[in-house]
């Protein structure tokens, strides 16, 4: 088992947060807190903090955080592909 560095996992979570934030700004819903994009943003920020605090010596925990980061990024990319197209002159 090899150790996955903290910065790789945190970069994946940061990309997930930025992409979910972009989706959140494009959706313009009435209640901006009760949707999946806000949940993914909050989840990614909390997990960035947890990765930084708890990911130092346990390679299994590092692998779990890495797989969680890949999964959340995959979900966010799939949600991004389902966004409605933007209108040019709006």
- pLDDT score, position 3: 82
> What are phi and psi for residue 24, nearest 5 degrees?
-65, -40
- Residues 6 or more apart whose Cβ sits within 8 Å of residue 19: 73, 76, 77, 80
Q: pTM of this prediction?
A: 0.85
What pLDDT score does 88 carry? 58
Helices (DSSP H) in the chain: which residue ranges? 6-27, 36-54, 59-81
Q: Over 70: is that where the pLDDT of 19 sits?
A: yes
**The two three-digit tokens of residue 32, written as one number:** 């901006």
Query: Which comes out higher in pLDDT, residue 8 or 87?
Result: 8
pLDDT of residue 10: 94
């Amino acid at each position: 088992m090899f150790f996955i560095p903290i910065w790789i996992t945190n970069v994946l979570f940061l990309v997930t947060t930025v992409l979910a934030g972009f989706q959140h700004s494009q959706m313009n819903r009435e209640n901006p807190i009760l949707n999946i994009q806000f949940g993914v943003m909050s989840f990614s920020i909390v997990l960035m903090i947890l990765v930084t605090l708890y990911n130092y010596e346990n390679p299994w925990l590092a692998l779990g955080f890495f797989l969680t980061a890949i999964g959340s990024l995959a979900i966010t990319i799939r949600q991004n592909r389902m966004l409605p197209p933007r209108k040019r002159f709006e």
